[in-house]
Amino acid sequence: MSDYVLELKGITKIFPGVKALNNVQFQLKPGEVHALMGENGAGKSTFIKVITGVHKAEEGEMYLFGEKVDFKGPKDAQAAGIAAVYQHPTSYPHLSVAENIFMGHEIIKHKMIQWKAMNEEANKLLKQLNADFDATAEMGTLSVAQQQMVEIAKALSTHAKIVILDEPTASLTRRESEELYRIVDQLKEEGVSIIFISHRFEDMYRLASRVTVFRDSQYIGTYDVDGITNADLIKAMVGREIKDLFPKPEVEIGEEMLRIEGLSRTGYYKNVSFNVHAGEIVGLTGLVGAGRTEVVESVCGITRPDEGKVYLEGQEVHIKQPSDAMEKGIILLPEDRQKEGLIMSWGLGRNVTLPTISKYAKNGLNDEKTERDLAKKLLEEVDTKAVDIFQPASSLSGGNQQKVVVAKALSQEMKVVIMDEPTKGVDVGAKAEIYAIMGDLAKKGYAIILISSEMPEILGMADRIIVMCNGRKTGELDRNEATQERILELAMEKSQNAGEGAAK
Amino acid sequence: MEKKSIMKKITGSREALLAVILILLCLVVTAISPSFLTPKSIIELLKNNAVTLVMSLGMLCVMLVGGIDISIMSTLALSGMSIGMLLKYGHISNTFLAFVIAIAIGAACGAVVGLVISRAAVPPIIATMGFMYVFRAMGYLVSHGGEWAGAAALGSFKNFATSKFLGLNCVIWIIILCYVFFFWFMKWTRTGRKIYAVGSNPSAAEVSGINVKNINLLVYTIMGILAGLGGALQVSIYASAMPDMQYGGEMDVIAACVIGGVSMSGGRGTVVGALLGSLILATIAKALPLVGIGALWQNTIKGVLILVVVVVNVVLQRVADRNALKGREM
Amino acid sequence: MAGKSGRSINNVPESPIKHMIFSWEGILVVLFILVNIFCKGFSEYYNLENLLRQMPVYLAEVFLMIPMAYILVLGEIDISVGATVCLSATLSCMMCNTGAPFIVVILTALIVGTVCGAVNGFILTQFEELPPMIVTLATQIIFCGIAEIVLGSGGSISASNTDGFRLIGGKVGKVPYILFLVLILAVIFAVILGKSTFGRRVYAIGTNRLTAYYSGIHVKKIRFIIYTVMGTFCGLCALFLVASSYGANTTTGNGFEMDAIAMAVFGGISSTGGKGNLAGGLISAFIIVCLRVGLGQRNVHAQVILLIIGVLLICAVALPNIIENVKRAVKK
């Protein structure tokens, strides 16, 4: 018997053109909570998929309870006692909780599904987790936190020895997170080993005894949580001093460009006010689900706010649809490049000119020559790594796709640029380039709003930082006074009614 | 919060709401025409709507996986016409054999549709639109270009619809058997639940090891089998087989399912809902002439009914979503 | 912020000629020639003169293919077109029988069609959650049902004053007016789809509706316009149908939705949106028209022709997918 319940050695996973994992290792002790940390794109998710049998590694060995295993598919991993709970629950919204828990391993007798037994069993599991809903409830009516609880119950129902939690707290409120911590503690007491992926240092300190860090598809190290400082951990994750990565130019801050006052949308955000000046980069941060994207989407006319006013250069503007915002120079670079930002099967050139085609059209007919020249100019300006403007956007890497989105914005008359998670899923090298572009834009006098969940990015680039929590603005910090701790404090409700207290 | 729970009750137990509507409808019709609620009239109603009742079970399965099948009445005509001609020219005379042949033809048609949709990835509406004309035309070819098989030609086969078993009409028995079987199949078997799973979240189903393609093939084959059965019933009940029978009848079946709460996007719908939907549609059809609305109006009213039901669903969903958002603490 | 690496990105398009020969449209042209040779060999009556004489009935359906191509490019479908044609034909016959001037009859047909299309468009843009399939399925029953109510128990109506219809059914020499109209409209709409900003936006919506919306495209407005124009073309189709039969009945326009979709899909316009162009649609429409005339000359039963078109439709969608599957299997 080995000391570890799970041990992986020399795992290498290659996707077409990229090494997603390069010779990484990992050890999980019995009954421990092991945090797995690293930036987006560091290879954590791929690693989890190798463990759960979704991906097959090209090289490397995996030992479960000291024995070498070779999973052919997710079912093998499940049978071996490994269960994963993903950030976005992969459930059946129309079916009952009990059915979701037992999908694939229903309780069958005489070829018939035993509903009563299944419901009882499911309720037993839910009670163990202190859940406040019944096994007969419909999955789709539950909150994300409750759905996650169902996923955990599902893991329990398969008598999993190893449970993997992939960013489980990302979309939970403070109180829901506390509930999750309690469940994890309980699982630990029952002897289940847990791998916990999270961006939140809080999660790690609260739960884990050890932490393993990945960076750029490589294994960096495993540390005892008690013996490591924040700074060390960040350095391990990012791999360099923060200053080098963020070429923040000194820009003189000009007139106020955009001001929003008391913006509210029922169920999404409430009474949000802030402003941006020319040449200024305002960071908008908070946990996933805090309402950041929703606020800027309302500013850009994607959705309509219920209340509140938007002023552009001191004048109140009424924006009813995306085209209104674009005409006025408020340009959004959406969060999801592939679904909202680009048409993946189209050539780069057509993507770049999509919002502005009517500008150079003659009598309603496209002027393709002008379009091509413009696309070439803009794509070269942002230094896109591409062969020609006709290759489909899907053929580019994440970072270059983001550059195409920037070029698309540049084709328009801009005053305010809103970048929503511009470096999500982008490798470190390309990240630096995007930061450089951002700095250039600020230098040119555009007002920039940067939405980001990545703390170093916000601290490194923003002149001013606005923190949101649970649909409200909880604070505003100047570049000089901002620290990781202060932001986290504001981003997570300290108590039920911290919202009003912390707001400036 | 108070409001939300009421909303939830209405949208949650749709069957209860449908049952209430059906009972109210029956009461109204009985008030106008007291003979409506007699056993004889009820049996007559069920018999006349047997085809819709049986086939809405198949449509339930198809719609549960997010598909649609508008070729079903062509399949019905092909299978019904085939046995009609076989009986007419004396190739077969056994009633049971005729049913088996009709069902086999239906199953074959359904399997072909299912293969084209699941394996060649043709959108269901386009595939079944094509097959609607293909099967209908095959029905014509089988009938030697429009020949009928009248009552005289059908021999003992037509007696099936009038004969009784244990004091109850055989057609009613078939309806009951179908519903009991499907009630069991959809609720209590793994395969039945897989159909729900595929409709609710196909990618999750794929991950948990369900063969989504085979489930798609299965539901269209089930639909075909029931269309074949419908063909045999149609020929027997109306004692004639003609190539253009039940033309446009697929709308009744779809309407029954939509009214019965089967979602167009898959995942939601029950056997009881399909039953209640079919019965409500049948009762309305019966009630319209009683309140002085001619048969000519039937189709329009059916169409409006479908439209109203789907639009009301959307509106209810929006209200429910908005209430859920209002309830979000901030 | 000039590109730091000075990398140059090519923006000179490839010569379109090579592309043209090996495209789906190229194959269709070859097919078109083959069909004509084939039909000629099939029947001694199949010649240009006969073709031109028999064409008008089938050409009316080509009107429907034109906006249907737009709807398919949007990634949507309209099943109610046949019913709209039926209603439009019925009401214009009735208007004709009231003795109204012919221009009013024409307007009736067009307005009825446009209103039907606008109803579809309105419902689909107000309730964007609804799939077009179910909405147009329901409106199909409704439009057809209204025609049934209007026609009454007889189920048919004939135009009492056929002068006007005879006029639009007329010819220049041997070439019927309708052929000119179809060609002119097809060219105009092909240019709009292929070359205009409107067309580009239609493709954008059909390929990725969300990105289109985020890029400032008026998705609702464009969808509404297209469904409404679909209705107007149904009215046009109805007019020429009446011009060839001087009447309407409950089966008028029956199955036209499949014909229109088959023509478009067979012409290389993807049923899942974003792909294809009207040139392909037009060529395939003429292939189908020639096929119908040719088969009609041989006295092939109408049902068999429907069967052939049904098979054509399914194969046109299925074959590329099957080829793709086989390719992938071979690669593995």
Closest residue by Cα to residue C262 from C190, C206, C312: C312
The verdict on residue C106 lying in a domain is: yes
The verdict on residue C168 lying in a domain is: yes
- The verdict on a CB contact (< 8 Å) between B267 and A93 is yes
A138 three-class SS = strand
C-beta of residue B137 within 8 angstroms of C-beta of residue C310: yes
Please list every residue in chain A whose beta carbon sits closer than 8 Å to the beta carbon of residue C200. 350, 354, 357, 366
Q: Name chain C's partners: 3 or more CB pairs within 8 A.
A: A, B
Length of chain C equals: 332
Query: Tell me: the pLDDT tens digits for A76-87?
Result: 888 888 888 876
- Give the Cα separation of A70 and A222 in Å (integer): 24
Closest residue by Cα to residue C72 from C254, C212, C238, C205: C205
Of A345, A381, A408, the CB nearest to C207: A345
B2 has pLDDT over 50: no
Of B200, B207, B326, the CB nearest to A267: B326
Closest residue by Cα to residue B208 from A106, C64, C277, A271: A106
- Give the Cα separation of A197 and C311 in Å (integer): 53
C-beta of residue A84 within 8 angstroms of C-beta of residue A166: yes
pLDDT at B198: 93
Of B130, B137, B254, the CB nearest to C137: B254
- Whether residue B8 lies within 8 A of chain A, CB to CB, comes out as yes
Show which of residues 155-194 on chain A sit within 8 Å of chain C, judged by CB atoms. Answer: none
- The verdict on a CB contact (< 8 Å) between A267 and B322 is yes
Q: Where are the alpha helices (DSSP H) in A25-158?
A: 44-51, 74-79, 97-102, 115-128, 144-157
- Whether residue B292 lies within 8 A of chain C, CB to CB, comes out as no
- Give the Cα separation of B197 and C250 in Å (integer): 42
Nearest CA in chain C to A412: C215
Closest residue by Cα to residue C194 from C66, C17, C64, C21: C66
Query: Tell me: the pLDDT tens digits for A430-474?
Result: 788 889 899 999 999 999 999 988 777 888 899 999 999 888 999
Quick one: pLDDT band at residue B33, thresholds 50, 70, 90? confident
Averaged pLDDT, B51-63: 96
Share of chain B above pLDDT 70, in %: 95
B285 has pLDDT over 90: no
Shortest Cα–Cα distance, C221 to chain A (Å): 12
Nearest CA in chain A to C211: A340
Q: Which of A71, A92, A105 should be substituted to probe chain B, the one whose Cβ sees the most B Cβ atoms within 10 Å?
A: A92
B160 has pLDDT over 90: no
Averaged pLDDT, A209-237: 84
pLDDT at B311: 92
- The verdict on a CB contact (< 8 Å) between A95 and B196 is yes
Least confident of A226-240, B131-145, C193-207: A226-240
Of C2, C11, C274, the CB nearest to A389: C11
Q: Name chain B's partners: 3 or more CB pairs within 8 A.
A: A, C
Query: Tell me: the pLDDT tens digits for A156-198?
Result: 888 888 999 887 776 666 677 788 888 888 888 888 899 988 7
pLDDT at B86: 92
- Give the Cα separation of C241 and C243 in Å (integer): 5
Domains in chain A (CATH in brackets) are: 6-239 (3.40.50.300), 244-329+414-502 (3.40.50.300), 347-412 (no CATH)
Show which of residues 429-458 on chain A sit within 8 Å of chain C, judged by CB atoms. Answer: 436-437, 440-441, 444
Tell me, rounded to whole angstroms, the distance of Cα C10 from its chain centroid: 38
Q: Which regions of chain B does DSSP assign to beta strands (E)?
A: 164-165, 168-169
B233 three-class SS = helix
The verdict on residue C4 lying in a domain is: no
Quick one: pLDDT band at residue B131, thresholds 50, 70, 90? very high
- The verdict on a CB contact (< 8 Å) between A99 and B209 is no
Between C7 and B30, the more confident residue is B30
Please give the mean pLDDT across all residues of chain B. 89
Task: Please list the residues that pair with C297 across neighbouring strands.
Answer: none
Closest residue by Cα to residue B72 from B282, B283, B299, B234: B234
* Beta-carbon pairs below 8 A across chains B and C: 136
- The verdict on a CB contact (< 8 Å) between A74 and B209 is yes
Closest residue by Cα to residue B135 from B160, B158, B109: B109
What is the interface pTM, i.e. ipTM, of the complex?
0.85
The verdict on residue C174 lying in a domain is: yes
Share of chain C above pLDDT 90, in %: 50
- Whether residue B189 lies within 8 A of chain A, CB to CB, comes out as yes
pLDDT at B78: 96
User: Which sign does the torsion angle of CA A253, A255, A258, A262 carry?
Assistant: positive
Nearest CA in chain B to A118: B188
Query: Tell me: the pLDDT tens digits for B137-158?
Result: 999 999 888 788 888 888 788 8
Quick one: pLDDT band at residue A2, thresholds 50, 70, 90? low
Closest residue by Cα to residue A35 from A225, A241, A233, A309: A225
- The verdict on a CB contact (< 8 Å) between B300 and C145 is yes
Domain range enclosing C191: 46-317
A495 has pLDDT over 60: no
Nearest CA in chain A to C193: A365
pLDDT at C18: 65
Task: Please list the residues that pair with A269 across neighbouring strands.
Answer: A265
Least confident of A287-301, B53-67, B109-123, C213-227: A287-301
- Give the Cα separation of A400 and A392 in Å (integer): 12
Please list every residue in chain B whose beta carbon sits closer than 8 Å to the beta carbon of residue C311. 130, 134
Provide, for chain C, the percentages of residues in helix, strand and coil under a 3-state DSSP scheme, each rounded to the nearest 5: 75, 5, 25
B145 three-class SS = coil
Domains in chain B (CATH in brackets) are: 15-326 (1.10.3470)
- Give the Cα separation of A236 and A218 in Å (integer): 11
Nearby residues of C120 by Cβ (< 8 Å), 6 or more positions away: C78, C80, C132, C135, C136, C139, C227, C230, C231
Closest residue by Cα to residue A466 from A262, A299, A292: A292
Q: Where are the alpha helices (DSSP H) in B120-266?
A: 124-142, 151-154, 170-188, 190-200, 202-207, 212-238, 250-259
Of B119, B130, B140, the CB nearest to C301: B140
Nearby residues of C81 by Cβ (< 8 Å), 6 or more positions away: C64, C68, C230, C234, C253, C256, C257, C260
The verdict on residue C332 lying in a domain is: no
Averaged pLDDT, A299-327: 93
- The terminus-to-terminus CA distance of chain C in angstroms comes to 45
Shortest Cα–Cα distance, C323 to chain B (Å): 9
Query: What is the residue type of B266?
Result: G
Please list every residue in chain A whose beta carbon sits closer than 8 Å to the beta carbon of residue B8. 141
Share of chain A above pLDDT 70, in %: 93
Q: What per-residue string of b and e applies to A450-473 under the rule 16 or more CB within 10 Å gives b?
A: bbbbbbbbbbbbbbbbbbbbbbbb
C134 three-class SS = helix
Nearby residues of B173 by Cβ (< 8 Å), 6 or more positions away: B165
- The verdict on a CB contact (< 8 Å) between A91 and B208 is no
Nearest CA in chain A to B325: A267
Half-sphere exposure for B60 (CA within 13 Å, toward CB): 30
pLDDT at C305: 87
φ, ψ for residue B49, nearest 5 deg: -110, 15
- Give the Cα separation of B216 and B188 in Å (integer): 19
- The verdict on a CB contact (< 8 Å) between B126 and C307 is no
Please list every residue in chain A whose beta carbon sits closer than 8 Å to the beta carbon of residue C8. 380
CATH code where residue C143 lies: 1.10.3470
Question: DSSP assignment, residue C6?
Answer: -
B249 three-class SS = coil
C-beta of residue B51 within 8 angstroms of C-beta of residue B59: no
As for how many domains chain C has, the answer is 1
- Give the Cα separation of B2 and B293 in Å (integer): 41
The verdict on residue C170 lying in a domain is: yes
Structure-block tokens of residue C172? 């220049």
Query: What is the residue type of B316?
Result: L
User: Which sign does the torsion angle of CA C210, C211, C212, C213 carry?
Assistant: positive
Cα–Cα separations (whole angstroms), residue C326 to B26, B120, B122, B140, C314? 56, 11, 16, 35, 18
- Give the Cα separation of C108 and C101 in Å (integer): 11
Averaged pLDDT, B267-287: 92
C2 has pLDDT over 70: no
Structure-block tokens of residue C134? 């179910």
- Whether residue A92 lies within 8 A of chain C, CB to CB, comes out as no
Nearest CA in chain C to B71: C310
- The verdict on a CB contact (< 8 Å) between C258 and B132 is yes
Of B188, B199, B328, the CB nearest to A113: B188
